[in-house]
Amino acid sequence: MAREKWPQATGNQLLQLLVRTGMNSGNSWNERTGFGPTNLEAMLSTDPTQFPDENPLPDKKKLGKDTEGSTGFGSSQGGSVPLPQEVADYADGIKFPLSLQDEDPNYVYRGLDDSAASPGGDYISSPVHLGTSPRFHKKKK
């Protein structure tokens, strides 16, 4: 219904709207009810285009801790895993391949750390194309 009322709102802004109009006290998150039941009246009377176009869910600060110190929802720092910066680093090929070689055999390291391409570096099985990350070639605004 909110998408129909505000067709110019992005998906992230609609997520912001849903989070900010949940019925938990202070729009807070908890492990039992999330952000609370949906308040349709508040959702349909609040313009989501006023909110930032960024996903509000990966950076939740307060999640219930389990006995081992992790949140059970992802990151021990209180957010989802992977974090937005980690996703960007992976997409741009600058996450060091040693931590990925068993998880993604198709990953290509495109960063600047030449130790990834050093001779005898047989511990890294991922392809290495130094300095070719799209992050290095974006136009400056």
**Which pLDDT belongs to residue 119?**
61
Provide the whole-model pTM. Answer: 0.46
Residue-range domain boundaries for the chain: 1-78, 84-137
Task: Name the phi and psi angles at 102, rounded to 5.
Answer: -85, -25
Q: Which of 81, 118, 84, 123 is nearest to 101 (CA)?
A: 123
For the chain, give the longest Cα–Cα distance. 63
Among 37-41, 77-81, 92-96, 131-135, the range scoring the smallest mean pLDDT is 77-81
Interval 52-78: pLDDT, tens: 988 887 655 533 333 333 333 334 444
As a dihedral over the C-alpha atoms of residue 47, residue 50, residue 55, residue 58, rounded to 10 degrees, the angle is -100
